[in-house]
Each structure stands twice: as C-alpha cells, then as structure tokens.
Structure 1
Amino acid sequence: MKLIHIMVAAAWSAAALPAFAQADLGASVEVATDERRRGISWSDGELAPAASVRAGVPFGLDLSARITGTRGDPRHGGADAVVDVTGGFARDIGGGLRLDGFVTGHLFTGAAEAFDYVEVGAGASYALGPAEIGIDARYAPDQAAIGGDNLWFGARARVGVPATPFTVNASLGRSTGSVDDWRRAARLRPGGDYTDWSLGVDHITGPVSLGLVYSGTDIEQVADSPFANARHTGDKVTARLAISF
C-alpha cells in the first residue's frame, strides 16, 4: 500500500505544479490486473498500480516518468517497481502523418542485481478521422542487464467507434536479438525470438479510461532461467483503469 500512496502523491503533485508558459503538463494514476508488455507479464501476474507525469514543450520535446509496481516479479530480480524515464520528440509533418523518437531508461527498485537498462525507439503513424495506424521499433543495445541486445518491431491500429465512447485497438510485434548471457536474455525473450499480439477496447469518458485487453505470444518453450518467469508468458485478458489530470 505504501507504494500505491507514493504513486498517487507523485501524480497529484505533478498535476498541482504551476503551468509554465507554453508548456503542456499532465499526470495520471492507473491500476491494471496485470502489467503486460509485449505479451509477457512484468508484475508476476498480479495487480499493478502505476502513476506517471509528463511535460511537453511546443517544439515537440516530451519528458515523462512512469512508476509501475512489479510486485517482486522474478523477471526483474524481485524488483518492487520499475521507473521508466523517457525523453522524446514528436512531429506532425502534415497530411495526418506523425513521426516520433525517444530514449527510455528502465530503472528497477529493490532488484537483487543490477537490472536497469536503456532502449531507444522510433515510430510513424497516420491518422484519418477516428482511425490511426502506425509502425514502431525499439532497440536496447547490448547490455549486461538483458544478456545481449534486444530489438522489437511492430504495427498497431486503433479506431474510435463513431458516436460512442469506445475505441478498439490492436497490435502485432516481433522480438529478436543477440545473446551473451542466456539467463538474462530470458528476461525479455523467455523462449528466444517470439511474436506477440493484442486486441483491446477502451471506454473513455473525460479523464477516465477503462480498458479490456487480450494479449498473447507464440512462446512454446521457456528457457530454464530464474528470470524467464514461465508462468506468465501465455495468453491472458487484463483490465486497466486510468484517471488523467
């Protein structure tokens, strides 16, 4: 409960910051039945609270920080939480096309070993009315914390259902990379190279968003690593509630 209180306090503090001239400030608090990223759990299959803050400036630079409870997940060495610190940019280039790029540091608190790592990413999206499609790539260079390097690339789509508060979204991705230490490489690729997918729906009314997502992978055999967390690599339906400020 202490972690939840810290997250809520951080989000409220950010929301209460005085508005800087021409700056876009925001914050949110969330809770999910399981924190799943690229089809695998990051919270040992348990309830995951989260909070985030963001600041954007007119020329496209965005700075954000998000803290998420990882509930002692063995995937991250028993860490209590992960703090994702991101600096990035986004640029609308006209005709509904948008480009973005970022650098993210994943910082794990309470992990038994040094498990922090960094990744870079880029993406492009095209919007037409209530629909949007996009492609993304994320690359974590060779680092001891992840036992090599890791590349994820994928495609996504979403469409708002006209005259309703519902948005339908879907994604498909592929993870691959090199291996220096197979035990740690199993953190992000529990069974080697794999494909992940998701299909979900969000109900958005004002600052409140309620989502339901089915996600899965084609992982069949999990590496015999203490960081692979074989119990949480399969298909699952999760729910998420978020409030934005």
Structure 2
Amino acid sequence: MRNSALVAWALLAATAVPAQAQVTPHASVEATTDERRRGISWSDGEGALAASARLDLSSGFDIGVRALTTRGDPRHGGADAVFEPTLGYSQLLGGFRLDAFATGHVFTNGDGPLDYYEGGASANYTLGPAQAGVEARYAPSQDAIGGSNLYLALRGRVGVPLTPFSFTASAGRSSGAVDDFGRAARLRPDGTYYDWSFGVQHATGPLVLTVEYTGTDIDDTRALSPFAARNNAGDRIAARAALSF
C-alpha cells in the first residue's frame, strides 16, 4: 500500500505543476509537548518534533510534505515517524477561502500495515480579525485503519486587535464503517466520538507560540485495542512552537 500511495501522490503532483508555473516555497519547523490530532495523541503523550515544506503554485495548487516524530506510539504500530505528502488546491471567492486536498500518511519502522490516505475539503470565511470555517476529511476503507473514517469539524479564530494574540476553538465528530475493530481504534478509539479544543496563540513575525486544551468524549479509562493506548485520548493541555521560513 505504501508504494502505491506514494506513486499515486507523485503522479498527482506532476499533473498539477504546469511547465511555466510560478513557485513560492515555504518551510517550517515545530516542537510540541504532545502531538494531538482530533483530540487524541499521535506521539504517545510525549513531546514531538516536526518539519514541513510546501511549494505554492500560481495555478492555485500546492504540493508539500510534513515529517513528524511519533515516539513509538502504539497507535501507529510503534512507528518512529510519519511522512505526510499532500497535494492541495485553494481558491479565493469573495471573503471565502476554499481548499481541497489529498494526503498520505506513511509510517517508518512500525509493525503491520500502517499507511493510509485520505482526502478532504474546507471553507473558511474571514471578516476583520475573525475567521470561521468548516472542514470534512474522508479516508476510504483500508486495512491499516480497520474500515473507513469520516471527520467533520467546525473551526473559529479571533484575533485581538493591536496585539499579537488570537484565540481559537474547534469541535469535530469522527465516524465511519468498521471492518476490524482493533485497527479502527487507531483513529476512533471507542467508536464514533466527538472532540473539541480551545487555544491561545502569540504570533511574532515567523514565530508562533500556541497553548491549547483538547478534549473528547472517549472513555479513556480502558485500553480497547493495542492501537488505542490508555490515557492518550482524554483532556490535555499542550504547548507548541512553530518557526516559519
């Protein structure tokens, strides 16, 4: 599956790059006390490092990759890291920004089938210092995640005028079909669940500091699967520092 996912992404990326496209590069490095996604940890509740690179094309497409240390998380078969190639497309329409994307998740040094892919779309509306948006992500049925996965979310951000601070909030719901209960617990411990977050950010030039609370309605008192480690899906406060180039 890993090879087929990477080949498919490469073909999509090649198709998206016109011969005379103008390219704008971006890169960033990050450090976090706990990599939280949809309210659950991707780094076994430990600190993690990440780096990303992206090329924005004048056609509206972008191609990029993100690498993250997963610290041997049982959720991902003890993998050391995950690489996430992404092909995206964005368009501005009035006050809206519309995005569509396809992402692969390729894990290193883990046990069993772990790699999977997903696609999604989002719409965000900006008015002054405030932004609100909706997002949908869907992973078709795959052995590595024990079925399919659908994630729907609402997000908001409000900047404090004349200050470097902004406040963020989100709420999401994960659902999907289950073919293998154990592996489905990688992305959906305890089945269908809700997650939420509240955060504060401080941005100074290329440096963004974030403190965020995340929570879920998952019963985190029991390990339901080897891929759903205990105490990694409950309430947590995590800090993150990101530096962009």
Equivalences for 1:114-193 in 2 at 5 Å?
114-193=113-192
Query: Is this contact kept in 1: 2:21–2:58, CA < 8 A?
Result: no
Q: Which amino acid aligns with 2:180?
A: D
Deviation at 1:223, TM superposition (A): 5.5
In structure 2, do the counterparts of structure 1 residues 122 and 204 end up closer, same or farther at CA, with 3 Å as the change threshold? same
Question: Could you say which residue in structure 2 is the equivalent of 1:211?
Answer: 210
Q: Could you say which residue in structure 2 is the equivalent of 1:14?
A: none
Matches of 2:229 and 2:188, distance apart in 1: 11
Q: Name the structure 2 match of 1:34.
A: 34
Q: Aligned equivalents of 1:109 and 1:103: distance in 2?
A: 20
What residue in structure 2 maps to residue 44 of structure 1?
Answer: 44
Q: Does the aligned pair in 1 maintain the 2:169–2:197 contact within 8 Å?
A: yes
Which residue pairs with 1:15 in the alignment?
A: none
Normalization by structure 2: what TM-score? 0.90
Quote the Cα distance in structure 2 between the aligned partners of 1:59 and 1:130.
27
CA distance in 1, matches of 2:242, 2:88: 22
- Counterpart AA for 2:237: V
1:87-120 deviation per Cα after TM superposition (whole angstroms, max 9, x unaligned): 01010012x1111100000000111112000000
**Distance apart, 1:148 and its partner CA:** 0.2
- Give 2:139's aligned amino acid: A
Q: Secondary structure at the match of 2:43?
A: coil
Deviation at 1:59, TM superposition (A): 1.8
Which secondary structure state, in structure 2, belongs to the residue aligned with residue 122 of structure 1?
strand
Q: Distance in 1 between matches of 2:223 and 2:188?
A: 9
Give the equivalent residue in structure 2 for 1:86. 86
What CA distance in whole angstroms lies between the structure 2 residues aligned with 1:184 and 1:220? 17
Secondary structure of 2:231's counterpart equals helix
Cα displacement (A) at 1:149: 0.2
Conserved in 1, the CA contact under 8 Å of 2:21 and 2:59? no
CA contact (8 A) 1:32 1:49 kept: yes
Q: For the residues of structure 2 that align with 1:22 and 1:147, how far apart are their CA atoms?
A: 41
Shift of 1:224: 2.4
Alignment match, 1:55:
55
Secondary structure of the residue aligned to 2:182 is helix
Task: Tell me how far apart the structure 1 counterparts of residues 192 and 59 of structure 2 sit (CA, whole Å).
Answer: 37
- Name the count of aligned residue pairs: 225
Q: CA deviation at 1:22?
A: 2.8
Q: 1:161 to 1:108 in 2, by over 3 A?
A: same
Q: Matched residues in 2 for 1:73 and 1:234: separation? A: 16
Name stretches of at least 5 consecutive residues in structure 1 with no aligned partner. 1-19
What's the counterpart of residue 238 of structure 1?
238
The share of aligned pairs that are identical, in percent, is 59
| Cα pair 1:88 1:101 within 8 Å, conserved | yes
More displaced 10-residue stretch of structure 1: 55-64 or 140-149: 55-64
Q: Deviations over 1:146-202 (max 9, x none)?
A: 000000001000011100001111100000000000010000001110000000011
Runs of 4+ in 1 over 2 A off after TM superposition: 221-224
Give 5+ residue unaligned stretches, structure 2: 1-19
> Where does residue 200 of structure 1 map in the other structure?
199
Any conservation in 2 of the 1:191–1:223 contact (CA below 8 Å)? no
Q: How big is the alpha-carbon RMSD for the aligned residues of Structure 1 and Structure 2?
A: 1.2
Equivalent residue, structure 2, for 1:9: none
